[in-house]
Structure 1
Amino acid sequence: MKLTKIAVAVLLTTGLAACSNSSVNNTNEKASAVQSAYPGITLIESVAANAAEISIPYKKYQLDNGLTVIVHEDHSDPLVHVDVTYHVGSAREELGKSGFAHFFEHMMFQGSENVADEEHFKIITEAGGTLNGTTNSDRTNYFETVPVNQLEKMLWLEADRMGFLLDAVTQEKFEVQRETVKNERGQRVDNRPYGRLNERVSQALYPDGHPYSWPVIGFMDDLNRVNVNDLKAFFLRWYGPNNATITIGGDINAEDVLPLVSKYFAPIPRGPEVVDAEKVAVTLEADRYISMEDKVHLPLLSMNFPTTYARAADEAPLDILAEIIGGGNNSLLYKNLVKTQLAVQAGVSHPCRELACSLSIYALPNPASGKTLADIEKIVRDSFTEFEQRGVTQDDLDKVKAKIESGAIFGLQSVAGKVSQLAAFETFTGNPNFIQDDLARYNSVTKADVMRVFNQYVKGKAAVIMSVVPEGQRQLVAAEDNFTPISHDFGGPSTTSADDLVARKAVDTFDRSKQPTAGVNPAVEVPTLWQTTTANGIAVLGTQSIETPTTSILIKVPGGQYSEQAEKVGLAATTAAMLSESTQNYTTEQMSGALEKLGSTIRISANSTHTNIFVSSLTKNLDATLALVEEKLFNPAFSEEDFNRNKQQSIQNIQHALKDAGYLASNAYSQLLYGDSIAALPNGGTLASIEAISLDDVKGFYNSNFKPQGSEVIVVSDLEQQALQAKVAATLDNWEGKAPAPSAHFEEPKVASNVIYLVDKPDAPQSEIRIGKRDMIEDITGEFFKANLMNFALGGNFNSRINLNLREDKGYTYGARTSFWGDATSGGFTASAAVRADSTAASIVEFTKELNNYAQNGISDDELSFMRKAINQKDALKYETPNAKLSFLAQILEHDLQPSFVKERNKIVSTISKEEINALAAKHLNTKDMVYVVVGDAKSLKPELEKLGMKVVDYTL
């Protein structure tokens, strides 16, 4: 994963406290003072904040066992984020033993010596927190955000799996998690269109045995061959404190944190010494053509040129080169392929990792163009020639610098973002304060630098060119394969034994088995709100957030899918897409360029009931951004060229989606629940409906529905109400009219019980399951809300009955869940999972058993207590970022609430009785009323499903 990426606003997740000339203290006097107060801890440096530059204030320490500790103080919200990053990813694995780092990400949540099985998720969820772990080629990290009173418990958990994990890693856990990883691969790779593209490219791009030549998730043959002792050996080699950084940020003080870190982590012994892997330049002597048939609708061309490595001098100009060639609406590939409708999509990026980067190009030809992958490759290469002639403009560099600035400031909005950046920079550079160097290397890029890297890495250089084509259509490949990866025989099952392991054990002076108790829950203040209604009928709700100089605005205009006719479903989404194209005064490219120079975004989309306009801007650029909002909303060009291009893209996207099992399952399920109503159809339309939509339809929908009365504006900004209200009014006050009320009617069809509706996806390695029914509309403090409290123990969290059964106990799935869902018009209940194909029938049995058992016997006392603690302690996390505040305010407007509804809901959580929850379960969880949908390989599934005693009906979308 690339740490700094232009295309994603550079991930400069920094802390504004910090817009400053960082002052770094690294004196022997201060270090010795810290060592005296906290034996075994050395202060390495202290970075303070002042207003001259962007940085994140922190203090960096090191324990005698090598653990690096970084503390960032942010007292804006009563929460804390803890990140433990280990400098180990798939690149530390051996040929034939791929997937270990990712496998260990799973194992680290399976309990340790003092934390019982499945307790890690439960403890953090019960604390009102969120958690996860991620693995990439170069590092693995584990993180949690919790109310600040839960910090000690988090440190206890993280220390226990760093120093006391191996005795808890059993053969049984190993086998279950191996199945879970297989399910994850099936869901994310094998059962997804183009899912194996990256691993095939990596095999061809890197030399045999190179650390990046295998996928992070690993090859299943490797995981099948190894045993639990291989996994333990990998942990002992790489998961020592001297190969880790713990970063703690939030409403804390370093003086309070250090004694806790010392208590829980200092006794853990060092692991083997770790040195950085050598960065060896990757080169290709000639183009390598490879290809693959896949269950896809469109062929795809991928070109990858090896370049440099992360944070090398050439990375920044290569990032800018990628932007110019294929990074957006002003890029060469957009002009030459997408705008001309020769391709449905095309783009360029420059993903970088610790040891290597590549310039990555992709394009999906539009079937209507008649272009082959060979034709597309030629157009790409011709675009390189055009770039030589075009050169680099100052405009190119200015847009990149604007993205960097806005990305840096928007990254200040969450403690998690700041902590993650500190951890990443420390892991890969040894300097958490690397942010200024990172900014400087982009700001110093010249036009000549970009041309130089083009000549060095792209012009006339060899690449890996991969063709992915629909099954049975090998004639579409760009060129015949001329490269085959080396095949290895790694023998039979591993013989690694426990005797081969050299264990290390911590020695404590306290009883680590005792879970720390949390302090008093922190007081959480609901944001102070202001509300008004404009003269033309727009409800405006806002709040001030002074942590960053940014403004976020959500404009909700009534008129979405439910305002359409079924034969032209997708009209609202098409209209929203057209509002993102050219206007009367700007071409699409000019509008994109203007927004990029401001570092602003305007996103327009349609859902069931509304068209939503999301605006994000640095406050200093808000006036200019709102002028562009006004241009987009009130002066659309609705050009024939834009319409035809969007229409073709929509048709191809739908045909692509029809190869995706999850899309098929959702569509079949909606049809069965909603029958002939508009809600039965996909928001983005069907092939027939999109074909039927005309440009006049778009203009008509816009003219009829795009009106101010009933619209809502939600704003979160560092500006005070008066100033912000004036800017909103200046943008929207001249808007007039009222849209007709939606006429959609959702009559519930009668669906036979004891029936499984089977949608065929031939040879699918996984099956998608949906079980559920229509139910209540959404409410905030009524039965809908209470039903979701009831559902929490059933399928509403990781430790729910259904997820523990299907994922952790049986190994059938990567994740299973249940939920009540709804809006003001309709709602329902759904149980869902993507399961291993050979466990489809068994998964149906387990789902049904769990639903019936819960309906009949209800919630346990422990589950009720768990639910109450988990939900009521989440408040500290609800209002941290401007976007979180935006969602909170939108809910208030939508349901006409007073802010006091938060206290009312907390009271319901605290007082709802076991009897009421059980009555809700009995009322809403009758499986006899539910629809069963399965998407998978019908020829193998149908006989197994029929054995369940249910009628199996072949269902066609």
Structure 2
Amino acid sequence: MKKWILAAAISAALTACSASNVSTSLPQGVSLVETVTTTESGVGIPYKKYQLANGLTVILHQDKSDPLVHVDVTYHVGSSRELPGRSGFAHLFEHMMFQGSENVADEQHFKAVTEAGGTLNGTTNTDRTNYFETVPSNQLEKMLWLESDRMGYFLPALTEEKFEVQRETVKNERAQRIDNQPYGRMGERFNQALYPAGHPYSWPVIGWPDDLNRADVNDVKHFFQRWYGPNNATLTIGGDFDEVQTLAWVNKYFGEIPRGPEVTAAPKPLVTLDKTRYISMEDRVHLPLLRMAFPTVYASHQDEAALDLLSNIIGGGPTSLVYKNLVKDGYAVQAGVSHPCQELACQFSIYALANPARGGELSDIEARVLESIAEFEQRGVTDDDLQKAKVQFEANTIFGLQSVKGKVSTLALNQTFFGNPDMIAYDLTRYANVTKEDVMRVFNRYIKNKPMVVMSVVPEGQTQLIAHEDNYVAPAPQIAEQAVTGLETVEAVAPSFDRSIMPTPQAAPMITVPVLWTDTLSNGIDVMATTSTETPTIELMIYLNGGHRLVDVKQAGLANLTASVLNESSQLRSTEELAQALEMLGSTVSFGASTYQSYVKVSALTSHIDETLAIVQEKLFKPGFNSADFERVKQQHLQSLQHMQSDPNYIANSGFDALLFGDNTPLGISSEGTIASVSALTLDDVKGFYQQQYRAGNAQIVAVSNLMQPQLLSKLQGLSSWQGESSALPALAAMPALEAGTVYIVDKPGAAQSVIKIGQRAMPFDATGEYFKSYLMNYPLGGAFNSRINLNLREDKGYTYGARSYFSGGSEQGLFQATASVRSDVTAQALVEFAKEINRYQASGMTDQELAFMRNSVSQSQALDYETPYQKAGFMRRIQRFNLDPNFTQTQADIIRNIPKEELNNLASAKLQLAEMIVLIVGDKANIEADIKALGYPVRALAL
């Protein structure tokens, strides 16, 4: 809930808002609350705010820069509206509301939005639930029809069967995101200790399993009736639309929905602790983790801003005290401090992942954290502390306004929690006015010598590493007799029009590909860029062809390790001094590497691009290659690799690549490397790879900014002195022969889920040939939410939270895979369903209806492809990297419109031969192996 803007940097592009409430001719029952427009000074998001007679708040923000609209419906209900022992309802409803309503058939919501070329989702947190769609602008009326039908006409379509399927889906989501993830159960255990019994934040948003099992369909109906009325909702629309027409549609579709029971604000008593509470947990992890938190205030409290700045000073990055005392000295692999705020409560949160190479004792980590807090008290707050924290926060908000979705989300959030969409200028003032005295005052009031919760998470069997023996046990949960209170009878109103008729979209908008320009620096570096004036920012990427592919497999991880060292000190300044300089600018500079390229990612306010590029050049041309930096970064990398061995998805990805491409090629070994390969790397190796990779001959630049071509080229002249020829890639070793039809099992004892991967090698990337056509072919099988695979395994069977299939390709090789994380007890059944869907599709191909769906969905989705700077940058990079015709999207559009179904089905027949594929499963071997063997598959154990 934090929003900051740097006024001086953006006054020319984002201007402040002045409010008026002058009324114009409006549909009956619609009232104009306020109009907020731009002025010549300050910052803000222009909008108009309306209210319908039934209490629905409507916010309209026009942005005609792209032919799209973003629709958001936010209900002021999250898990905090639930009762003890009745958790999980709000999140369950996020799922239920996609399952059709009286006039929208089962799965039609996803199908309608996807076929319209849009994207959609819903999210739930402690305090609100939102549903949102981004679609081409001609599809707005259809979105309003969909959202209004589930707001006003959901219950007639709610069945016991739908309820049971979605309850299973939620259980699968919990298994995938919590039970089967390292540290997954930490948050819910921690909150039980931090908040009093019965506090609405003391249970997880996803719900306790027993509470989900306790619920019945009538509980769900009552929860909907209590909280999902229009008077507890905000409808926010942003993008390219006609305001008069949009208001008429809003009134038509939402105006007749009856008002729900009245909703009052929840109380916000400050949370306090009587003493420090120690708790601990064993988990299937490698790195011991310490988590600490002090209860503080709540969102928008007068002390929130000062506490935010305090957290930044103590632990907000490489210049902080916690970083210096824990990470810099090698006692922690990672550590940080933050002050997350929710509507009812905030917490001053500290975490550290202990470095086992330094012992891993969490008592030592706790002592060092407390020493850092004491050090802050002694040294106090400096002017630079305040300035860098404010600038960082302020710049972050500008980058958050680069999309219509970002602006709509900001307006909706502020209206929902504070009753005022126009909070940017207020927050700017709030944070700008924080003083040193304010920071010390909140430190003394909420942190110094105050009780806290301290949680230790240690590897199984290593309880000797905990910080302190447990002294707190959460009380047994209470169970409310009823799932809902405050329910009132609301009389249904018959609609005045036939709601069963889906609106027909208007003419499709003209899709405008960004206007690109290309140039070459004097040393031959290609530059491709486009101008975007929506925000006064520059997003710049320096790509260096090579990356992991340039490295001998025996040195796997070298490209990543070199990039990490380049993120550290230069010959002129230390890591901390460079970080401080960037923080004072509100800029970020990050070196990284992937399979085929190394890169430098630069984000800056345009007003600070000269200073930022000077730092880029310092890091790039005068790297420090400090031995202490190298040893620390290498140790962090090794511990990270050990940690990832606890993640079943990482295990599955690395194992599958090794099977397909072999462990003697860089395509078969992760760019992160292995423990053995990284352990053997030296600082001289890093220096050697730097000389080979970071040459002008390997470099290409992509940029999105508000500068014209001559201005940007002038800024880039400092890179013209860069020298060096391009580096040739080594020959790629032969690929291994696949043991087709074999199921490989990686044992993960006790796993709640099995990660399944089915696939084979496939063609490399191309933009308009067989690869692209195979993408179109796969779309109905596993490329969309309502694809055959996902509807079967998730919606029909309830085996998984999500299943899909796709083709992925690089410049040399590609793969096809079908994948899902499924409940451990249905692993064999899920494998059967995957095989059934793939075989059926391979034999018969897509239907005429699926062909029409694919054509509509893929072609219309192009309206969403170029909105944000990074979408534009990604588009340009594809052109650069694969040497594409800048008009390749027009060729793709022609293919989408005209490719015969027979050609696509022939591709399915040729590319989806299940008998030629292998299967990898990461799961509990003891529980799944017998059932898989019973299916007739040859099974092999795979050790990674």
TM tier, shorter chain? Answer: over 0.9
Between 503-512 and 67-76, the greater mean CA deviation after superposition: 503-512
Q: 1:301 aligns with which of 278, 290, 298?
A: 290
Q: Quick check: 2:234–2:412 contact (8 Å CA) kept in 1?
A: yes
Match of 2:672?
684
Between 252-261 and 390-399, the greater mean CA deviation after superposition: 252-261
In structure 2, how many angstroms separate the alpha carbons of the residues matched to 1:506 and 1:693? 72
Match of 2:931?
944
Q: Does 1:317 align with 2:315?
A: no
Match of 1:112?
101
In structure 1, how many angstroms separate the alpha carbons of the residues matched to 2:902 and 2:806? 20
Residues 489/723 of structure 1: CA separation in 2 closer, same or farther (3 Å cut): closer
In structure 1, how many angstroms separate the alpha carbons of the residues matched to 2:702 and 2:491? 55
Per the TM alignment, residue 408 of structure 1 is displaced from its structure 2 partner at its CA by 2.7
Which runs of 5 or more structure 2 residues have no equivalent in the other structure? none
Match of 2:440?
451
Q: 2:401 aligns with which of 398, 408, 412?
A: 412
Q: Does 1:470 align with 2:428?
A: no
After TM superposition, the structure 1 = structure 2 runs for residues 497-646 of structure 1, keeping only pairs within 5 Å, are 502=489, 504-646=491-633
TM-score by length of 2: 0.98
Q: Structure 1, residues 481-500: CA drift from partner, whole Å, max 9, x if none?
A: 11111114749xx9989xx9
Per the TM alignment, residue 775 of structure 1 is displaced from its structure 2 partner at its CA by 0.8
Match of 2:275?
286
Q: 1:895 aligns with which of 869, 882, 899?
A: 882
Q: 1:928 aligns with which of 888, 900, 915?
A: 915
SS in 1 for 2:603: strand
Q: 1:874 aligns with which of 853, 861, 865?
A: 861
Q: Does 1:220 align with 2:202?
A: no
Match of 2:817?
830
Q: 1:704 aligns with which of 689, 692, 704?
A: 692
Amino acid at match of 2:582: L
Between 394-403 and 90-99, the greater mean CA deviation after superposition: 394-403
Q: 2:712 aligns with which of 694, 719, 724?
A: 724
Amino acid at match of 2:793: L
Q: Structure 1, residues 34-92: CA drift from partner, whole Å, max 9, x if none?
A: 4xx31101111000012311101001010010000001111111111110000000000
Q: Structure 1, residues 761-780: CA drift from partner, whole Å, max 9, x if none?
A: 00000010111011100000
C-alpha RMSD of the superposition: 1.7
Q: Quick check: 2:197–2:477 contact (8 Å CA) kept in 1?
A: no
In structure 2, how many angstroms separate the alpha carbons of the residues matched to 1:526 and 1:16? 28
In structure 2, how many angstroms separate the alpha carbons of the residues matched to 1:241 and 1:203? 33
Q: Does 1:240 align with 2:225?
A: no
Match of 1:745?
732
Q: Structure 1, residues 850-903: CA drift from partner, whole Å, max 9, x if none?
A: 111111000000000000000111122111121111111111111222222111
Residues 17/589 of structure 1: CA separation in 2 closer, same or farther (3 Å cut): closer
Match of 1:162?
151
TM-score by length of 1: 0.97
Amino acid at match of 2:606: T
Match of 1:349?
338
In structure 2, how many angstroms separate the alpha carbons of the residues matched to 1:495 and 1:337? 48
Q: 1:274 aligns with which of 263, 275, 281?
A: 263
Q: Does 1:801 align with 2:796?
A: no
Give the total of aligned pairs: 941
Q: 2:91 aligns with which of 75, 91, 102?
A: 102
Between 899-908 and 534-543, the greater mean CA deviation after superposition: 534-543
In structure 1, how many angstroms separate the alpha carbons of the residues matched to 2:360 and 2:652? 32
Q: 2:354 aligns with which of 343, 365, 368?
A: 365
Q: Quick check: 1:18–1:55 contact (8 Å CA) kept in 2?
A: no
Per the TM alignment, residue 406 of structure 1 is displaced from its structure 2 partner at its CA by 1.6
After TM superposition, the structure 1 = structure 2 runs for residues 124-143 of structure 1, keeping only pairs within 5 Å, are 124-143=113-132
Match of 2:779?
792
In structure 2, how many angstroms separate the alpha carbons of the residues matched to 1:270 and 1:249? 25
Q: 2:850 aligns with which of 863, 866, 873?
A: 863
Q: 1:911 aligns with which of 885, 898, 903?
A: 898
Q: Does 1:43 align with 2:41?
A: no
Per the TM alignment, residue 10 of structure 1 is displaced from its structure 2 partner at its CA by 8.3
Q: Does 1:174 align with 2:163?
A: yes
Amino acid at match of 1:875: Q
Residues 943/299 of structure 1: CA separation in 2 closer, same or farther (3 Å cut): same
Q: Structure 1, residues 720-760: CA drift from partner, whole Å, max 9, x if none?
A: 101111221x2211111113311141422112222110000
Per the TM alignment, residue 211 of structure 1 is displaced from its structure 2 partner at its CA by 0.4
Q: Quick check: 1:11–1:407 contact (8 Å CA) kept in 2?
A: no
Q: Quick check: 2:175–2:752 contact (8 Å CA) kept in 1?
A: yes
Match of 2:19?
24
Match of 1:400?
389
Residues 858/954 of structure 1: CA separation in 2 closer, same or farther (3 Å cut): same
Q: Quick check: 2:87–2:212 contact (8 Å CA) kept in 1?
A: yes
In structure 2, how many angstroms separate the alpha carbons of the residues matched to 1:10 and 1:765? 44
Residues 651/274 of structure 1: CA separation in 2 closer, same or farther (3 Å cut): same
Between 260-269 and 473-482, the greater mean CA deviation after superposition: 473-482
Q: 1:256 aligns with which of 233, 245, 249?
A: 245
After TM superposition, the structure 1 = structure 2 runs for residues 425-464 of structure 1, keeping only pairs within 5 Å, are 425-464=414-453
SS in 2 for 1:547: coil
Per the TM alignment, residue 710 of structure 1 is displaced from its structure 2 partner at its CA by 3.7
Q: Quick check: 1:89–1:139 contact (8 Å CA) kept in 2?
A: yes
In structure 1, how many angstroms separate the alpha carbons of the residues matched to 2:129 and 2:150? 14
SS in 2 for 1:709: helix
Per the TM alignment, residue 371 of structure 1 is displaced from its structure 2 partner at its CA by 4.7
In structure 2, how many angstroms separate the alpha carbons of the residues matched to 1:16 and 1:159? 38
Match of 1:193?
182
In structure 1, how many angstroms separate the alpha carbons of the residues matched to 2:541 and 2:479? 56
In structure 1, how many angstroms separate the alpha carbons of the residues matched to 2:541 and 2:693? 18
Q: Quick check: 2:30–2:251 contact (8 Å CA) kept in 1?
A: yes
Q: 1:83 aligns with which of 72, 75, 89?
A: 72
Q: Quick check: 1:677–1:744 contact (8 Å CA) kept in 2?
A: no
Q: Quick check: 2:5–2:428 contact (8 Å CA) kept in 1?
A: no
Q: Does 1:848 align with 2:848?
A: no
SS in 1 for 2:721: coil
Per the TM alignment, residue 299 of structure 1 is displaced from its structure 2 partner at its CA by 1.1
Per the TM alignment, residue 556 of structure 1 is displaced from its structure 2 partner at its CA by 0.6
In structure 1, how many angstroms separate the alpha carbons of the residues matched to 2:490 and 2:736? 63
In structure 2, how many angstroms separate the alpha carbons of the residues matched to 1:663 and 1:4? 33
Amino acid at match of 1:106: H
In structure 2, how many angstroms separate the alpha carbons of the residues matched to 1:945 and 1:562? 36
In structure 1, how many angstroms separate the alpha carbons of the residues matched to 2:753 and 2:651? 13
Per the TM alignment, residue 501 of structure 1 is displaced from its structure 2 partner at its CA by 8.4
In structure 2, how many angstroms separate the alpha carbons of the residues matched to 1:515 and 1:822? 38
Amino acid at match of 1:23: S
Q: Quick check: 2:99–2:109 contact (8 Å CA) kept in 1?
A: yes
SS in 2 for 1:678: coil
In structure 1, how many angstroms separate the alpha carbons of the residues matched to 2:859 and 2:394? 37
Per the TM alignment, residue 535 of structure 1 is displaced from its structure 2 partner at its CA by 2.9
Match of 1:4?
2
